[in-house]
Amino acid sequence: MFAAYFTVTILASLFTGIAAVTYLIGHDYPKAQLDMKRLPHSWMPMLGMFLAAGSIGLLAGFIVPLLGTLAAAGLVLYFTGALIAHLRVGSRQLVGWAVFFSTVMATLAMNLNYHGYL
């Protein structure tokens, strides 16, 4: 059970960490996503910090389990907001969102199960 929990958590932390870096360095892809969703570019650092905090929180969860669970729940909320932003503008390009959302949702489920919160 630990191997699955560890693998899913590391994968989610890696995905969200890479996404955080792209937002924080001002890469063109997040800019295009914000333009498509009609959101201001001034939100990029804030969104990047949310992703970075979630990524670090997942890793910190190996030491403080509740922190990892809360980070996973926060990332689920973050990507729920991303879905709402997509649907608000009529975007049906949800493959990237689905990959991120399913990864953080699996991480939350593994955290809850592994630590006996369920």
pTM: 0.94
pLDDT of residue 118 exceeding 80: no
Yes or no: say if 16 and 44 are a contact pair by the CB < 8 Å rule.
no
On whether the CB atoms of residues 24 and 72 are closer than 8 A, the answer is no
Q: Give the integer Cα–Cα distance in Å for 104 and 32.
A: 23
Residue 110 has pLDDT above 90, yes or no: yes
Cα–Cα distance, 5 to 106 (Å, whole number): 9
Report pLDDT digits (tens) over 69-88. Answer: 999 999 999 999 999 999 99
Please work out, in degrees rounded to the nearest 5, the angle formed at the alpha carbon of residue 27 by the alpha carbons of 20 and 90.
Answer: 85
- The predicted-structure confidence for 86-101, as pLDDT tens digits, reads as follows 999 999 889 999 999 9
What is the C-alpha separation between 49 and 42, in angstroms, rounded? 13
Question: What is the average pLDDT across 39-65?
Answer: 97
